[in-house]
């Protein structure tokens, strides 16, 4: 299991990933601690204080599709769905 899988596993272990689409919105709001409609690295850190900077970086590389440095609900949902249906190939991220 690589670092990104571990990071996702960490999020899943906190009860984030659920199969129902509407739950993504609730999960997103739980992570978006300042409720500005975007998840940034500070939100992730506040949500899970044990997450490493590397894990955050990898999560953003995989999830921040438009590379604006923020994760919106659409990007969050795409990544969660890709992870759940197995189409997100974690080995695509050759960071190490």
Binding stretches for Ca ion (CB under 5 A): 32, 34, 36, 38, 43, 64, 66, 68, 70
Taking the complex as a whole, the smallest distance from the CB of residue 28 to Ca ion amounts, in Å, to: 10
Residues 6+ apart with CB under 8 A from 19: 84
Nearer to Ca ion, 21 or 36 (CB): 36
Assigned token pair, 70: 């923020």
Q: Write the DSSP symbol of residue 1.
A: -
Taking the C-alpha atoms of residue 67 and residue 65, their distance in angstroms, rounded to an integer, is 5
Residue number with CB closer to Ca ion (17 or 46): 46
| Residue 61 vs 95, nearer CB to Ca ion | 61
Nearest approach, Cβ of residue 82 and Ca ion (Å): 15
Residue 42 C-beta: closest distance to Ca ion, Å: 7
Rg of the chain's alpha carbons, rounded to an integer? 12
């Amino acid at each position: 299991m690589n670092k990104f899988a571990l990071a996702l596993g960490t999020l899943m272990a906190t009860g984030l990933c659920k199969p129902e689409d509407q739950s993504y919105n609730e999960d997103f709001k739980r992570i978006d601690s300042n409720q500005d409609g975007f998840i940034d690295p500070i939100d992730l850190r506040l949500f899970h204080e044990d997450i490493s900077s590397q894990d955050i970086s990898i999560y953003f590389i995989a999830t921040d599709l438009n590379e604006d440095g923020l994760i919106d609900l659409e990007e969050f949902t795409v990544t969660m769905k890709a992870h759940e249906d197995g189409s997100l190939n974690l080995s695509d991220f050759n960071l190490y």
